Chain A
Amino acid sequence: MLSISRELHDKIVAHARADHPDEACGVIAGPEGSDRPERFIPMMNAERSPTFYRFDSMEQFQVWKEMDERDEEPVVIYHSHTATEAYPSRTDVSYASEPGAHYVLVSTRDPETAGFRSYRITGDVITEEPVEITDVE
Chain B
Amino acid sequence: MAIEVRIPTILRTYTGGAKQVEGKGATLSELIDDVDASHNGLKDRLIADGTLRRFVNVYLNDEDVRFLGGLETPVKDGDTVTVLPAVAGGAVAGGAA
- A residues contacting B by CB (< 8 A) are 23, 25, 27, 43, 47, 49-55, 57-58, 60-61, 64-65, 77, 79, 81-84, 88-92, 95-100
Contact = CB atoms under 8 A, between A and B. Distances in A.
Contacts of A91: 88-95
A98 B86 contact: no
Highest count of chain A CB atoms <10 Å: which of B62, B89, B96:
B89
Nearest to B56: A97
B57 interface: yes
Interface of B: 8-10, 55, 57, 59, 62, 64, 66, 82, 84-96
Contact of A60 (B9, B57, B66): B57
Given A91-B95, A97-B10, A99-B10, A53 B89 contact: yes
Contact of B95 (A49, A65, A79): A49
Highest count of chain A CB atoms <10 Å: which of B10, B66, B91:
B91
B92 A95 contact: no
A9 B9 CA distance: 26
A89 B90 contact: yes
Contacts of A57: 57, 59, 64, 66, 84, 86
Contacts of B66: 57
Nearest to A77: B87
Given A98-B9, A98-B10, A99-B10, A61 B62 contact: yes
A60 B93 contact: no
Closest 5 CB pairs of A and B: A97-B85, A52-B90, A52-B95, A92-B89, A51-B92
B88 A83 contact: no
A88 to B, nearest CB: 7
Contact of A99 (B9, B55, B84, B86): B9
